Amino acid sequence: MSLPYVAFEGIEGAGKSTVSDRVRSLLESDGRSVAQVREPGGTAVGERIRSILLGHDLAPEPWTEALLFAAARAQLAAEVVGPALAGGSWVLSDRSVYSSLAYQGAGRRLGIAAVRAVNEPGLLGVWPSLVVLLTVDPERGLARQEIGDRIGDEGIDFQRTVADGFERLAADDPDRFVVIDTHAPLDEVVEAAYRAIRSRW
Out of 151, 163, 169, 180, which residue is the one contacting ligand TYD (CB under 6 A)? Answer: 151
Is 69 a residue that touches ligand TYD (CB under 6 A)? yes
Cβ proximity to ligand TYD: between 146 and 187 the closer is 146
* Least CB distance to ligand TYD at residue 88 (A): 26
Cβ proximity to ligand TYD: between 5 and 103 the closer is 103
Q: Restricting to residues 86-115, which ones interact with ligand TYD according to CB under 6 A?
A: 94-95, 99-100, 103-104
* Least CB distance to ligand TYD at residue 199 (A): 26
- 128, 47, 116, 44: which is closest to 92 by C-alpha? 128
Separation of alpha carbons 199 and 98, rounded Å: 22
Cβ proximity to ligand TYD: between 90 and 94 the closer is 94
Cβ proximity to ligand TYD: between 16 and 176 the closer is 16
Is 8 a residue that touches ligand TYD (CB under 6 A)? no
State the residue number with the nearest CB to ligand TYD.
103
Residue-wise DSSP of the chain: ----EEEEE-STTS-HHHHHHHHHHHHHHTT--EEEEESS-SSHHHHHHHHHHH-TT----HHHHHHHHHHHHHHHIIIIIHHHHHTT-EEEEES-HHHIIIIIIIIT-S-HHHHHHHHHHHHTT---SEEEEEE--HHHHHHH-SS--TTGGG-HHHHHHHHHHHHHHHHH-TTTEEEEETTS-HHHHHHHHHHHHHHH-
* Least CB distance to ligand TYD at residue 54 (A): 6
Is 149 a residue that touches ligand TYD (CB under 6 A)? yes
Residues interacting with ligand TYD, by CB under 6 A? 12, 16, 38-40, 54, 69, 94-95, 99-100, 103-104, 149, 151-152
